[in-house]
Chain A
Amino acid sequence: MTTEIKYTFKDFASDQDVRWCPGCDDYVILRSIQKALPEIGKKKEDIVFISGIGCSSRFPYYMDNYGIHGIHGRAAAIATGTKLANPHLSVWVASGDGDSMAIGGNHFIHTLRRNIDMNYILFNNEIYGLTKGQFSPTSLLGQKTKSSPYGNTQAPFNPGELAIGAQAKFFARVAGNDAKLQTKIYIEAEKHKGTSLVEVLQNCVIFNDGAYKDITDKSVKDDVQLVVEHGKPMIFGKNKDKGLVLDEMKLKVVKIGENGITEDDILVHDAKEPDATLHLALVNLKEPVVMGVIRAVEDETLIERENKVTELAKKTNPIQSFEELLFSGQTYEVEE
């Protein structure tokens, strides 16, 4: 639905004081979403933010939209009810790595497989922040935290890999400090029909500071981040001289201009390919780390399927009103 009203990012900022730690990437995410929303063509009263518990989950309070700050892990389940109740709404979930993949893991995977049309922002800081520093389901093996003083023994999830395993049709990844790419991805996520999962590599300045610095620091990012775009060759590097090719079923980094490699030899990104093999290889790639919209496959959404069977019921069920239902089947009269 388009609207005549022209919003600016300020229209989406609430009057509440933002209480995240100074320097937290959450500020970048907040501003990037506030910048994306004027571009999606939705009225602000038709936008809903739903969250669970954790630092990230304070998000709805800072948006001037409708919202629910829910309970730990349940944001996706609450949001599913809201979207089913009113499919016209633009529904957004703000959730952390613990909220999504530990306590809320079940809702996370089922939301993805159902492909209900909503946008899911996963604030992945690889740590529990609000409870002050325990390992999360994305913390690295060996990572020292308050609850793993000698090193974490629980192997981490890669959210993209988990999501694709759970039938995700849209997956994007972006650095927490990359405001420009974030805004672009949030607009893409909203445009995509189905569950759009965006993993933000979000730095926690207090309990896991620098977790992503080897990926996100300005000095290195061009050489370690590959930002993919649908239909374009997967080229990266400060000098745009590195790219990906397939070599014996594996992705391999090659240098353009060396060994006779030209730009034409570089793999072209196809986000719309339903076969997830290559998308899975991209989300698992360590060097470079792949950013951007990795997977965006068109498919029927839950509500489209629901509407179809409702139509079927309308056409085939002999009972077409509540009154008819009351008097259907075997009834009998009692005379006085």
Chain B
Amino acid sequence: MSTEAFHKETKNLDHAVIRFVGDSGDGMQLTGTQFSTSAALLGNDVATFPNYPSEIRAPQGSLYGVSGFQVNIGATEISTPGDDLDILVAMNPAGLKTNIKDLKPGHMVIVDEDAFTRSNLQKAKYESNPLTDGSLSEYNVIPVPMTSLTREALKDTGLDSKSITRSKNMFALGMLYWLFSKDPKHTIEFLQKKFKNKPQVVEANIKALKAGYHFADTLELMPTHYIVDPAKKEKGTYRIIMGNQATAWGFMAAAKKASLELFLGSYPITPATDILHELSKWRHLDVTAFQAEDEIAGISSAIGASFAGKLAITTTSGPGLALKSEALGLAVMLEIPLVVVDVQRGGPSTGMPTKTEQSDLMQALYGRNGESPLIVIAAKSPADSYDKAFEAAKLTLEHMTPVVLLTDGYIGNGSEPWKIKTLDEMPEISHYQVTEYQEDFHPYKRDPKTLARPWAIPGTPGLEHVIGGLEKDKIEGTVSQDPLNHEEMVKLRAEKVRKVKDFIPPLETEFDQEGDLLVVGWGGTYGSLKTAVKKYKEENPDKKVGLAHFSYINPLPHGVADTFSKFKNILVAELNMGQFADFLRMNYPQFQYTKYNKVQGLPLGSPELIKKFNEILKSE
């Protein structure tokens, strides 16, 4: 298809935020994924975020059944899926109603006007038709009869009318490709591959895609199309990766690097289940993915597998971490390698399963009986999940203590371009496994450098020993209820975790290294905070603002006090009621912390952050 000789004007954009919304059955996730992938393949930087209801197939047309997919494409570096929308594509009234508030005034909303029937309007609780009653006057509304145009275009394909109607998402996608001057060839290739055994479906989808593309070209209401130039990125081979997929692959990479096999014990839970799905595919690549009968069996089987010498992990979300806490305490006591991944979601209790939050931090740090310290780290973006899963595995193997890796629904389900990192590009991983007889073996005799104990696995002759949840003798690991031995063991386990500080990178500050305001965050908010600080600094070049983002939470890295002392104000922004701020206050009470907290199941946005920066810096 030709992308040249446009008779309409073109306009260059630095970036554009687009959201596709419709019924959960309208294929919005596929449409959004295709648009993002094409944009990335054509050189844009992208960040995406799906937003879907917790019901699988909510009643058609209902407000709570709206499924959305947001993508931010850029000619410069993109760190988040974006805040307010530049373009909204709404396939039905319910989608329009629940999303229009996020569209920037004056900006374009493309709707399938065929879907604005009396019954759909009623389901969306509209009293009159918003397309005709003037209520959308502040927006640029482009009503397109997508359903009937798709039907017309596909009438000769021989497909039944239901299948034809289902192709209207491709019509919408075609329009967007025209609007952003994108060649739809990658989607055509994708359709040919995906439905290779259903040539009729391939033909219909491609026809709908092209029909939408050409329709947009001729539509007088769309006089301009946009160009978002390719972004400058480091040279290399890239792919679009989702956070949960990156987490799964990071563990696979770590297992390969450590020459161990990977074991996952897991129970399905939103939004972590995709890690189980991903690892279930690769059983022929030395991965055992065991779907257990419950969360407790998930972690318990991982403990059993770790004892037998595998790199063992368990994956879950907040409620599952609560169920795993007793077994996690056992792993602390056994001093074996184990990684628990918590893809955080809105809580407490069942809370908001499909929405993001960072409110499991205290649970990860302290949610066990007794003095039970372990390593806690957090991933900061979808692609960073690969590195942090790898790092979690490296730390648990090199320090013989469990690790909790915190990600969240936002980065777990979000995606972005990732410069593929092969095994050669990853650091080495060592471990304490013992598989041959040793003279003078003592199960709890520690390496003075790390305080890790040897990991002698079943099958090793002469090193038979029993480990367990009862307090142990500090050398032999046999049961000991001796008061002083217990106190020493409690301190040893804590010291072992503290020592990790010397093996992780010191805290880094981005933007200004000293000055007026240090913005502090951790985990999945990195992209939001970076975008906000960057924007704020562009608007306020006289202000000195730094960003200190934490990936390592327990232990905290070196350099915290030094960094904090260089700024007049410290703002800790997080998606909870201030858990990390409290943790920092406990560890570094000499500083004043201002908090910015949000618990709406949504990521942090630039406008709200910038407002907060202004509040702090104007009051000076």
A positions within 8 Å CB-CB of B: 14, 16, 43-50, 53, 60-61, 63-71, 74, 77-86, 88-89, 106-107, 110, 306, 309-310, 313-314, 317, 319-323, 325-327, 329-336
Contact = CB atoms under 8 A, between A and B. Distances in A.
A95 to B, nearest CB: 13
B460 interface: yes
Nearest to A316: B284
B111 to A, nearest CB: 30
A330 B265 CA distance: 30
A82 B326 contact: no
A45 B290 contact: no
Interface string B260-300: 01010100000000000000011111001010111011001
Contacts of B131: none
Contacts of B221: none
Given A66-B465, A110-B293, 14 more contacts: A45-B458, A77-B293, A77-B297, A81-B302, A85-B263, A85-B310, A107-B296, A110-B292, A319-B282, A326-B249, A327-B237, A327-B239, A333-B238, A334-B237
27 contacts: A45-B464, A46-B458, A48-B458, A66-B307, A66-B464, A68-B334, A68-B467, A70-B300, A77-B292, A77-B297, A77-B301, A81-B300, A82-B305, A82-B458, A84-B305, A85-B308, A85-B309, A89-B459, A107-B293, A107-B300, A310-B283, A323-B422, A326-B420, A330-B41, A331-B239, A334-B238, A335-B235
Given A81-B263, A106-B293, A86 B309 contact: yes
A64 B464 contact: yes
Nearest to A86: B308
A323 B293 contact: no
A81 B285 contact: no
Nearest to B234: A334
Given A77-B304, A334-B236, A110 B458 contact: no
B458 A69 contact: no
For the complex of A and B, list the 10 residue pairs with the smallest distance between their C-beta atoms, beginning with the closest: A69-B468, A81-B304, A81-B301, A77-B300, A85-B308, A67-B466, A85-B305, A82-B304, A77-B297, A81-B305
B297 A331 contact: no
B468 A60 contact: yes
Contacts of A306: 283, 288
Given A60-B468, A84-B288, A50 B304 contact: yes
B248 to A, nearest CB: 10
Nearest to B386: A326
Contacts of B283: 306, 309-310, 313
B423 A88 contact: no
A79 B478 CA distance: 20
A314 B420 CA distance: 24
A85 to B, nearest CB: 4
B463 interface: yes
Contacts of A71: 300, 326-327, 330, 469
Nearest to B470: A69
Contact of B330 (A70, A110, A325): A70
Q: How large is the interface on B (under 10, 10 to 19, 20 to 34, 35 or more residues)?
A: 35 or more
Contacts of A43: 461
B293 A69 contact: no
B44 to A, nearest CB: 11
B73 interface: no
A332 B238 CA distance: 5
A37 to B, nearest CB: 12
B238 A74 contact: no
Nearest to A72: B326
Nearest to B456: A66
Interface centre among A53, A63, A80 (most CB of B within 10 A): A80
A331 B459 contact: no
Interface centre among B305, B326, B327 (most CB of A within 10 A): B305
A181 B540 CA distance: 85
Nearest to B255: A322
B85 to A, nearest CB: 26
Contacts of A323: 422-423
B385 to A, nearest CB: 15
B465 A85 contact: no
Interface centre among A60, A64, A82 (most CB of B within 10 A): A82
Interface centre among B263, B307, B457 (most CB of A within 10 A): B307
B296 A77 contact: yes
A14 to B, nearest CB: 8
B134 interface: no
Contact of A61 (B240, B303, B305, B466): B466
Interface centre among A48, A50, A74 (most CB of B within 10 A): A74
A336 B234 CA distance: 7
Interface of B: 37, 40-41, 43, 186, 190, 233-240, 249, 252-253, 256, 261, 263, 265, 281-285, 288, 290, 292-294, 296-297, 300-310, 312, 326-327, 330, 334, 419-423, 457-470, 478-479
A319 B278 CA distance: 13
A35 B432 CA distance: 34
B458 A81 contact: no
Contacts of A74: 296-297, 300, 327
Nearest to A321: B285
A45 B304 contact: no
B162 to A, nearest CB: 29
Given A60-B468, A330-B186, A331-B239, A313 B300 contact: no
B532 to A, nearest CB: 27
A71 B299 CA distance: 12
Given A71-B330, A330-B37, A332-B239, A85 B288 contact: yes
A74 B314 CA distance: 15
Interface centre among A16, A86, A336 (most CB of B within 10 A): A86
Contacts of B462: 45
Contact of A81 (B265, B421, B465, B478): B265
A43 B293 CA distance: 31
B422 A68 contact: no
A322 B253 contact: yes
B464 A65 contact: yes
B305 A331 contact: no
A81 B303 contact: yes
A335 B421 CA distance: 17
B307 A61 contact: no
Contact of A66 (B43, B423, B466): B466
Given A327-B420, A330-B239, A78 B467 contact: no
Interface centre among B238, B330, B459 (most CB of A within 10 A): B459
A81 B290 contact: yes
A332 B293 CA distance: 40
A317 B460 CA distance: 34
Interface centre among A50, A60, A332 (most CB of B within 10 A): A332
Given A314-B284, A330-B186, A334-B233, A80 B290 contact: yes
Contacts of B466: 14, 49, 60-61, 63, 65-69
A44 B234 CA distance: 55
Contact of A334 (B43, B256, B459): B43
Given A77-B292, A82-B458, A331-B238, A44 B300 contact: no
Contacts of A86: 308-309, 457-459
A270 B474 CA distance: 52
B284 A317 contact: yes
